[in-house]
Amino acid sequence: MTLPQTLILATHNQGKVKELREPLARFGFEVKSLPDDFPEVAETGSTFEENALIKAHAVADALGVPAVADDSGIEVDALGGAPGVYSARYGRDWPEREGESADGRNNRKLLTELEGVPSARRAARFRCCMVMAYPSSWKDRPEDIVVSGAWEGRIAERPSGSNGFGYDPLFIDPSTGRTGAELTREEKMARSHRGKALAKLLEALERRRS
């Protein structure tokens, strides 16, 4: 099967773009960004997979180009799996502090909710579902590719590190004892939920290429 040359990353999250662009380009795609004025796609699903499918199809259909979408988040056992699919919006119900980013507010809320919870009960995992979808206007379009990955770890007592994005400064990777924000991009991708999902996506594309 001939693979499309161009794909679009169906996200405005620059943290995700930084992690996905280079490996997809190395695989041979011309990787395009979502136009700045592309409206936020409503994440109306109740699972990572549903939301990734919604985002990938919305973008592929609107722009007529194959799209890769990632829906991801963090599940904290001591919070019954929250914030899960609501990870991006977790801190929205908390009062804003001047100069604080949305990620900063999410992290502040998470640390507050876990105050007093000992290290042994701070288990958490990142999950990612990644979808490659094709425009419905394409005749004989290939089937969607749907893959996922998880990264087990625990929530730190305080943030540390400045790489990555989102909850990375609070997420301790057990194999290194460092937070996601203390890992280089390559180290993070070798372990992370997104790195694992992307590896599976590339394997599926490789099988279609051969």
Catalytic residues: 71
Please name the residues in contact with 58: beta carbons below 8 A apart, sequence gap of 6 or more.
Answer: 10, 41
Whole-angstrom Cα distance, residue 205 to residue 210? 9
Under 8 Å between Cβ of 163 and 87: no
Q: Does 167 bind ligand IMP (CB under 6 A)?
A: yes
CB of 85 to ligand IMP, least distance (A): 7
* Pairs from 112-116 (Cβ < 8 Å, separation ≥ 24): 113/79, 114/76, 114/78, 114/79, 114/155
Q: Which one of 25-33, 110-118, 136-144, 158-166 is the stretch in contact with ligand IMP (CB under 6 A)? A: 158-166
Residues of this chain, 77-116, that bind ligand IMP according to CB under 6 A:
87-88, 106
Tell which one of 24, 72, 114, 201 touches ligand IMP (CB under 6 A): 72
Q: Does 38 bind ligand IMP (CB under 6 A)?
A: no
- Torsions phi, psi of 49, nearest 5? -65, -45
Distance of CA 71 to the CA centre of its chain: 5
Q: Does 134 bind ligand IMP (CB under 6 A)?
A: no
Tell which one of 3, 13, 150, 185 touches ligand IMP (CB under 6 A): 13
Tell which one of 148, 163, 179, 192 touches ligand IMP (CB under 6 A): 192
CB of 26 to ligand IMP, least distance (A): 20
* Residue number of the CB atom closest to ligand IMP: 166
| Three-state SS at 129 | strand
Which CB, 10 or 205, lies closer to ligand IMP? 10
Nearest one of 90, 95, 94, 87 to 70, comparing CA atoms: 87
Q: Does 173 bind ligand IMP (CB under 6 A)?
A: no
In 24-122, the DSSP E strands lie at 30-33, 67-76
Which residue ranges make up the site for ligand IMP (CB under 6 A)?
13, 43, 71-74, 87-88, 106, 126, 164-168, 180, 192, 194
